[in-house]
Amino acid sequence: FCGPMRSIAARHGPEAGGWKITGSAILSALALLTLVGFFTQYAQPIGDNTEFSVLSRHEPQTGGSLYLVRSDGARETRLLTFSDKDIWGSAVSPKGKRIAFRVASGKNPESDIYVARADGSDARRLTHSGRHDTQPAWSPDGKQIAFISIPAGTSGEYLLQTVRMDGSGLMTLAAGVAEKRFPAWSPDGRFIAYETRNGFNQQLAIVSKSGGEPRWLDSTSGGDEPAWSRDLSLIHISEP
């Protein structure tokens, strides 16, 4: 780590354009969350059932696989396998009935978003962009998936997009040459926060699920990996 971690909470309110900083604090727990962040990018709990998680893994002999794993690591069950492909970034729907994940073919830079039932059946491809589609995030109602679409070549625009669970209704919410990462839905499903760059500075932005001009979040310079609380406070990891 490059330095101490701190959190900044931004709350949606009716005045001054709707966003204000409500407080900042040193949270030692964030250091622990950061340490396990590498694992949680691959493993996601099944709905409210914290006893099991879904783990994505690439195995040279068989390809990319999804596993159902007990939280204590004592048992794992393979849900599905894509031969000669890589699976990464599984995200479980709010009710635990579906799994979204990214599938890439071999060494090609292109990848697509797939969705399957929680038991691994009925795996379906949602995107066909010819780009690197990744980092799926479910809306709170489980009807849409936000994701980041990255240029497959050496140049192009980064896109924040949403798509319905059946693959219809593809919508671009934010576009630009600045890198975009970590889409996070607000608990009420109205907004999506994400990490991007404002000039030379890493910063968080927010955009409505129906589109429109993205807004920068004040005092989030250096912000990383946004996450929402139920009262619409936004917490992120930041390096001072």
Three-state DSSP state, 29: helix
Measured between alpha carbons, how far is 88 from 99 in angstroms, rounded to an integer?
A: 12
- Summarize pLDDT for 33-50 with one digit per residue, the tens: 333 333 333 455 554 445
Q: Can you give the pTM of this predicted structure?
A: 0.77
Query: Edge-to-edge strand order for the sheet containing 223-228?
Result: 19-25, 6-12, 233-238, 223-228
Please give the pLDDT value at position 26. 28
C-beta separation of 185 from 140 below 8 A: yes
Tokens of 72: 């204590």
- Average pLDDT of the residues of the chain: 77
Measured between alpha carbons, how far is 30 from 140 in angstroms, rounded to an integer?
A: 24
- Summarize pLDDT for 165-196 with one digit per residue, the tens: 999 999 999 999 999 999 999 999 999 999 99
Three-state DSSP state, 121: coil
